Amino acid sequence: MTILLPGTLTDAYRMLSDDPDVTPVAGGTDLFAHWPENRVKQSTTYLDLSGLAELRSMRWTKSELVLGALTTYWDVVTDARVAAEFPNLVTAARQVGAVQIQARGTWAGNIVNASPAADGVPVLLAYDATVRLGSRDGVEDIPLDEFYLDYKKMRRRPDQLVTEIRIPRRTYQRAWFEKVGPRKSQAITKVGVAVTVAGETWRIAANSVAPTVCRCPALERYCAAVAGAKGQPLTSPSDLLPAIRSDVSPIDDIRSTAEYREQVLARILFHALNDAGV
Amino acid sequence: MSTNSVSIETTINGEKTSIDVTATERLLDVLRYRLGLTGSKEGCGEGECGACTVYLDGQPVNSCLIPAYQVRGRVVETIESIAPEQLGAFVASGATQCGACSPGVVMTAQWIVKHPHLLQSHGLRELMAGNLCRCTGYDGIIDALTETLAANGSAEEPVSGQDR
Ligand SMILES: Cc1cc2nc3c(=O)[nH]c(=O)nc-3n(C[C@H](O)[C@H](O)[C@H](O)COP(=O)(O)OP(=O)(O)OC[C@H]3O[C@@H](n4cnc5c(N)ncnc54)[C@H](O)[C@@H]3O)c2cc1C
Ligand code: FES
């Protein structure tokens, strides 16, 4: 097992292109959670990102909030400006693990770990975030919505790092995120959903209901139509089930069942829509 | 097998320390087995229980999840840096029984005591949710914290008293 400690982003890119088998380490909360087993994988080379100042900052431009790849959940939880403009980021961050995990876990690590249960990803999807990938060959921007190809498969080459997550600044009338798990903290999501509404545009993204965290286009269209009084008014959660079934493909596993996930997703959305007067 | 080691400088409990660490060593291992700071405990080894909680640049973190090379140039504080006299309320309130969780519980609790403004947005139980205790039922811990905060004149009403 080998560790590489690049001093600059340029060094890191060079190390990654020299050896395609290198694993980047950010907060380590995914990589080291199974350390006793992983330690056995002696051939692994790790590349430590934690010393790279270029990846650390969180900044605002006129049109975007830019999260550097080392931005943690706690950075977001403690930022009043983020809470005011992108409340879903704070709501989700506060439900990741507990404060010790929030202080270390990064949004970029959450994206690249590519768990279907990742809580940071649905809120970023519902805010139309873009992933910026960097390598020795330059940068590439990929909408998060197009980033995942299949379970744990994504459009990131081994020589690329996520350098930034870019979130467009818009006026949202509504934003909410709901996570259902066995307890509020230190829990892996059974079903979760993030919603934003900007004018007539709805974004709905769900986690733990498909091989990847995913946008729900049928639900988005359905909710937009109901809200615009172009569709049938909602009378019960089951009205949402056809759209849910066309968008997601939950499974039975140790944490929950497919049926529970569908039903609960329908109810969360139904009650949230009711509360919002839709 | 090739394991390279790197030489790092770090500040532990106020002392500048130079140490060679390998790619496989976690901060918790270095603290316990290299430096003899055995106050931090390993409960789960996967970030769930909080028994290994230390401060990294002042922030509570799980030392079982931190590769040792990541603390280079940074400031680490362990339970050994907490003065016993700060713990009166914890003893009085029955905030401990078997004691396995206590080092971690005390670290997170003392962090809250030092940063009472956190209670404007967070409840005590949310902030303490990363420290599991199988003996006390948590009430003793929350009572001790509430009392300590009150004694410091920073007893803001917790935002929500719900279990997390
Ligand atoms: C106790 C516990 C509770 C948790 N609770 C939750 C939870 O409630 N919700 C949730 O979603 N997650 C949870 N997690 C998982 C984890 O904390 C998050 O996924 C976190 O965001 C991972 O970030 P990290 O920086 O620690 O990633 P790391 O472990 O450092 O890396 C994760 C993956 O991303 C890659 N990577 C990291 N940064 C980059 C980059 N810039 N470019 C390219 N690749 C990169 C790494 O190679 C690795 O494959 C929990 C973990 C633990 C241990
Ligand atoms: S031993 Fe580190 S959290 Fe349990």
Give the domains, in start order, of chain A with CATH numbers: 174-275 (3.30.390.50)
Residue B164 lies in a domain: no
H or E segment to which residue A180 belongs? strand A174-180
The amino acid occupying position A18 is D
Give the H or E element holding residue A204. Answer: strand A201-207
B107 and B134: one domain?
yes
Instruction: Return the pLDDT at A38.
Output: 67
Q: What is the pLDDT of residue B26?
A: 95
B58 and B75: one domain?
A: yes
Residues B142 and B108 in one domain: yes
Number of domains in chain B: 2
Q: Residues B5, B2, A156, CA angle at the centre, nearest 5°? A: 90
From CA B163, how far away is CA B151, in angstroms rounded?
24
- What's the CA-to-centroid distance between B79 and ligand 2, angstroms? 14
Of the three residues B58, B81, B104, the one that is the final residue of a domain is B81
Domain residues for the domain of B25 are: 5-81
> How far does CA A67 lie from the centroid of its chain?
13
Average pLDDT per consecutive 10 residues, chain A (278 residues; last block may be shorter):
94 95 95 76 86 96 98 98 98 98 98 97 98 98 98 96 98 95 90 95 96 97 88 87 95 91 95 83
Q: Which residues fall within 8 angstroms of residue B150, CB to CB, at 6 or more apart?
A: none
Q: What's the pLDDT score for residue A48?
A: 97
**Is the domain of B62 the same as that of B90?**
no
- Which residue ranges have their beta carbon within 6 Å of ligand 2? B 42-45, 47-52, 62, 64
Stated pTM of the model: 0.96
Strand partners, B7: B20
- Give the residue on A whose Cα is nearest the Cα of B130: A98
d(CA A39, CA A70): 24
CB–CB of A33 and B65 under 8 A? yes
Residue in A17, A30, A48 to alter for ligand 1 test, most ligand atoms within 8 A of Cβ:
A30
Do residue B69 and residue B90 come from a single domain? no
Dihedral in degrees, nearest 10, Cα atoms A153, A158, A164, A166: -40
B118 and B56 both lie in a single domain: no
Same domain, yes or no: B67 and B97 = no
Asked, for residue B72, whether it belongs to a domain, the answer is: yes
Q: Are strands A64-68 and A161-168 parallel, antiparallel or unpaired?
A: antiparallel
User: Given CB atoms, is A25 within the 8 Å cutoff of chain B?
Assistant: yes
Q: What is the pLDDT of residues A141-171, one digit of tens each?
A: 999 999 999 999 999 999 999 999 999 999 9
**Do B16 and B44 lie in a common domain?**
yes
Tokens of B40: 């931090």
Q: What angle do CA B44, B47, B51 make, to 5 degrees?
A: 60
Q: Which residues, in sequence order, are CB contacts of A68 under 8 Å at separation 6+?
A: A54, A55, A56, A57, A58, A59, A163, A164
Look at residue B1 in the predicted model and tell me its pLDDT: 41
Contact flag B108-A99 (C-beta cutoff 8 Å): yes
> What Rg do the C-alpha atoms of chain A give, in angstroms?
19
Quick check: B4 and A3 CB within 8 A? yes
Q: What kind and span of H or E run contains B146? A: helix B139-151
Choose the final residue of a domain: B59, B81, B103: B81
Strand, coil or helix: what is A195? strand
Distance CA B53, CA B49 (A): 9
Establish if B163 belongs to a structural domain: no
Query: CB–CB of A103 and B1 under 8 A?
Result: no
Give the domain-ending residue among B81, B106, B136. B81
pLDDT in tens, chain B (164 residues): 456 899 999 999 999 999 999 988 999 999 999 999 999 999 999 999 999 999 999 999 999 999 999 999 999 999 999 999 888 888 888 889 999 999 999 999 999 999 999 999 999 999 999 999 999 999 999 999 999 999 988 755 555 556 66
| C-alpha–C-alpha distance, residues A142 and A159, integer Å | 16
Q: What is the pLDDT of residue B159?
A: 54
B107 lies in the same domain as B151: yes
Do B41 and B95 fall within a single domain? no
Strands of the A58-60 sheet, one edge to the other: A58-60, A64-68, A161-168, A130-135, A138-143
**A99 reaches B (C-beta below 8 A):** yes
Tokens linked to B119: 């209670």
Q: Residue with structure tokens 């230190």?
A: A186
Contact B130, A97 (CB under 8 A): yes
Q: Residue B24 domain-assigned?
A: yes
Say whether both B108 and B65 belong to one domain: no
* Within a domain: B65: yes
Residue B131 lies in a domain: yes
Residues B142, B90 within the same domain: yes
Residue B131 belongs to domain with CATH number: 1.10.150.120
Q: What is the pLDDT of residues B25-56, one digit of tens each?
A: 999 999 999 999 999 999 999 999 999 999 99
Q: Any idea what the CATH number is for the domain that residue B69 is in?
A: 3.10.20.30
B93 occurs within a structural domain? yes
| Beta carbons of A83 and A42 less than 8 angstroms apart | no
Q: Which two tokens stand for residue A277?
A: 């007067």
- Residue A207 pLDDT: 96
